[in-house]
Amino acid sequence: MSGFGTVGAINLTPNLVNVVPSVATITVDLRNTNEAVLQQAETKFRGFVAQAAEREGVGVQTRMLARFEPVNFDPRVIKIVEQSAAAAGLTHRRMPSGAGHDAQMFARVCPTAMIFTKSVNGISHNVTEYTEPADLEAGANVLLRTMLTLAGTEF
């Protein structure tokens, strides 16, 4: 099973260096581009949490904060994005994204794709995220070329 998971936040009560916490609140984000694999990961994770709680003699409460079924972007739009990058002399590669961007919602009703620009040291969705101005400009130009092509394309 492949995919991604991260612990986005850990909050302890009390949050003191010399006191064993009585409550730990943890957010977990599981992602995969395949719905069946994502469901397997969620089931496996729930089982892991239940076993750990039983083994340690602690109580666990869980709740789902958000859950969206993975979507596939339109291969025609992806190809146009790639062609736009190539026409600008830029390198490009296809990347899966489990992020809940607007494009994930639009993809259900219209041809959609996403354009990513590189962030320094690969850091994204973080206060230290930084993208060089030249990379932002390149991404904006790929978007412009893509939109101009899409404006003249029938689907």
Question: 99 pLDDT band (50/70/90 cuts)?
Answer: low
**Which two three-digit tokens encode residue 146?**
């893509």
The CA–CA distances, whole Å, from 59 to 14, 41, 49, 62 equal 17, 22, 10, 10
Question: Average pLDDT of 79-99?
Answer: 91
**Which two three-digit tokens encode residue 56?**
């340690």
Contact residues for 33 (Cβ-Cβ < 8 A; gap 6+): 70, 72, 96, 98
Question: Average pLDDT of 16-31?
Answer: 94
Question: Average pLDDT of 25-43?
Answer: 92
Question: 102 pLDDT band (50/70/90 cuts)?
Answer: confident
Pairing relationship of beta strands 4-13 and 23-31 according to DSSP bridges: antiparallel
The CA–CA distances, whole Å, from 117 to 14, 126, 134, 139, 149 equal 40, 15, 10, 6, 20
Gyration radius of the chain over CA positions: 20
Query: How many Cβ atoms are within 10 Å of 74's Cβ, its own excluded?
Result: 15
Question: Average pLDDT of 91-109?
Answer: 85
Domains in the chain, please, with CATH? 4-56 (no CATH), 75-151 (1.10.150)
pLDDT at position 50, please?
A: 96
Whole-number percent of the chain with pLDDT over 70: 96
